[in-house]
Copies of this chain bind each other. A is one copy, B any other.
Amino acid sequence: MKIIDGNVVSPKGFKAWGNAVGLKKNKKDMAVIVSDVLCNGAGCFTTNVVKAAPVQWDMKNISNKIKGIVVNSGNANACTGKQGLKDAEDTAGKLAELTGVEAENVLVCSTGVIGVNLPMDIILNGVEKTYPKITDSEEGGNEAAEAIMTTDTYAKKAAVEIEIGGKTVTIGGMAKGSGMINPNMATMLCFITTDCAISSEMLNKALRASVEDTFNMISVDGDMSTNDTVLCIANGLAGNEEIKSENEDFEKFKEAVYYINKRLAMACADDGEGATKLIEARVTGARDKENARKMALSVVSSSLLKAAIFGEDANWGRVLCAMGYSGAEFDPMGVSIMFRSEKGEIKLMDKGTPIVFDEDTAAKILSAHKIYIDMILEEGNGEAVAWGCDLTYDYVKINGDYRS
């Protein structure tokens, strides 16, 4: 696997652009991705009972052949009733019209304020203005990645190349942050493009497997949006023999998708609202993977632990406490806890017994940007990693501000 400097237009046959169409004030707010040929699609969607209109549209149409995707920021088209569903369809219809396909071949995603119907004149004009600009030059993917940002402080992109049967297969991606946004509720969105020839079934398998261990293992504030979506479209233009089973090619492809998702998911955690630190919590030796996942996620979701990391306080008690209420089964008397960073490492608990530690060393370790928390158990082979960020004054500020 070769990591390259790229984005959603890096794979063959994809074009994209990002534009300011007027949903937000003087900011890019619409991205369009189009494939030269129809793609197989796969998607993972929010499990929130309240699903935004575009999520409902995409869930219905993800098994169709996909030509392109329209994404808007500034308005989530969530809690918008029947009109919202029609608006999602009409948005898809507009790009379909321009690209010569049916609305059912176009996916749509929205992020931004909820409970307000999309201003469809702006949306439809926006698609018309944005579509002619799509390009397969790197700029196209970069503009698109910027246009989907909300409270994100930087655009999130990644790309890799792998070789399958002598052919170069490229996978590119972009995402926007998982923190909820000002002015209202927002969303984690991720888009992956690839020129790999792969069946819908295998594409779904590869996506689901990696989302489980990446986007489903990050927490910014524990709030799950109505719009969370990960989409992957594959147009087959790499010319490899189509992947139709879980063979060696599939494993290669899956690993590459995992890498892209991991990079983007970590960037979302790192760029969580108000965040100053990235936390990587790793559980090893748990009874099984499910128990490991519960503990790792519980730790990065704990407001108390997140506030302690912001304060650079080696508060291992909050780690053990969050493990304890995670719902996982484990013996607290077998737990060892370490804090690590590029500045060193320190063991704080050894098999259930607290260790007297040097506060200065701990403070130095915690002054780094990326903090690793290791939870070592001795009950089995269950492992999991979760990512999160610290809880800061700015989080409260961003989310406490008036919507206006």
Binding site for B on A (CB under 8 A): 47-50, 78-81, 113-116, 180, 184-185, 221-226, 301-304, 307-308, 310-313, 315-318, 320-325, 328-330, 332-333, 349, 352-354, 359, 363, 391-393, 395-404
The residue on B at minimum CB distance from A220 is B303
Expressed in whole angstroms, the minimum distance between the Cβ of A394 and any Cβ of chain B is 9
Chain B residues with Cβ below 8 Å from A396 are: 307, 310, 391-393, 395-396
With beta carbons under 8 angstroms apart, the residue of B223, B308, B313 that contacts A303 is B223
Chain B residues with Cβ below 8 Å from A180 are: 304, 318
Expressed in whole angstroms, the minimum distance between the Cβ of A86 and any Cβ of chain B is 15
Chain B residues with Cβ below 8 Å from A222 are: 222, 301-303
B312 touches A49 (CB 8 A): no
B185 touches A317 (CB 8 A): yes
B114 touches A317 (CB 8 A): yes
B400 touches A329 (CB 8 A): no
Expressed in whole angstroms, the minimum distance between the Cβ of A50 and any Cβ of chain B is 3
What CA separation (Å) do A304 and B274 show in the bound complex? 13
A321/B400 contact (C-beta < 8 A), A303-B221, A352-B81 known: no
With beta carbons under 8 angstroms apart, the residue of B79, B221, B323 that contacts A50 is B323
Chain B residues with Cβ below 8 Å from A307 are: 395-396, 398-400
A115 touches B49 (CB 8 A): no
B399 touches A308 (CB 8 A): yes
The residue on B at minimum CB distance from A324 is B50
Selected A-B contacts with CB under 8 Å, 19 pairs:
A49-B324, A49-B329, A50-B320, A79-B349, A81-B333, A81-B352, A81-B353, A115-B317, A221-B303, A222-B222, A222-B302, A222-B303, A224-B325, A308-B400, A311-B402, A312-B402, A313-B403, A363-B402, A395-B396
A47/B400 contact (C-beta < 8 A), A81-B352, A318-B180, A352-B81 known: no
A304 touches B79 (CB 8 A): no
With beta carbons under 8 angstroms apart, the residue of B184, B311, B328, B404 that contacts A400 is B311
B49 touches A317 (CB 8 A): no
Expressed in whole angstroms, the minimum distance between the Cβ of A221 and any Cβ of chain B is 4
Give the copy number: 2
Expressed in whole angstroms, the minimum distance between the Cβ of A390 and any Cβ of chain B is 8
What CA separation (Å) do A275 and B322 show in the bound complex? 22
Expressed in whole angstroms, the minimum distance between the Cβ of A339 and any Cβ of chain B is 14
A321 touches B352 (CB 8 A): no
A321 touches B221 (CB 8 A): no
A315 touches B223 (CB 8 A): no
Chain B residues with Cβ below 8 Å from A349 are: 79, 115
Expressed in whole angstroms, the minimum distance between the Cβ of A274 and any Cβ of chain B is 9
Expressed in whole angstroms, the minimum distance between the Cβ of A271 and any Cβ of chain B is 17
The residue on B at minimum CB distance from A400 is B311
What CA separation (Å) do A324 and B328 show in the bound complex? 24
What CA separation (Å) do A267 and B399 show in the bound complex? 25
What CA separation (Å) do A303 and B179 show in the bound complex? 11
Chain B residues with Cβ below 8 Å from A395 are: 303, 307, 396
The residue on B at minimum CB distance from A402 is B313
With beta carbons under 8 angstroms apart, the residue of B116, B317, B324, B401 that contacts A311 is B401
A318 touches B79 (CB 8 A): no
A311/B399 contact (C-beta < 8 A), A223-B303, A225-B321 known: yes
The residue on B at minimum CB distance from A225 is B321
What CA separation (Å) do A301 and B224 show in the bound complex? 12
Looking at A313, A321, A332, A333, the one whose CB has the most chain B CB atoms below 10 A away is: A321
What CA separation (Å) do A125 and B396 show in the bound complex? 44
The residue on B at minimum CB distance from A390 is B400
A354/B79 contact (C-beta < 8 A), A49-B325, A315-B184, A317-B114 known: yes
What CA separation (Å) do A225 and B318 show in the bound complex? 9
B321 touches A50 (CB 8 A): yes
What CA separation (Å) do A56 and B131 show in the bound complex? 66
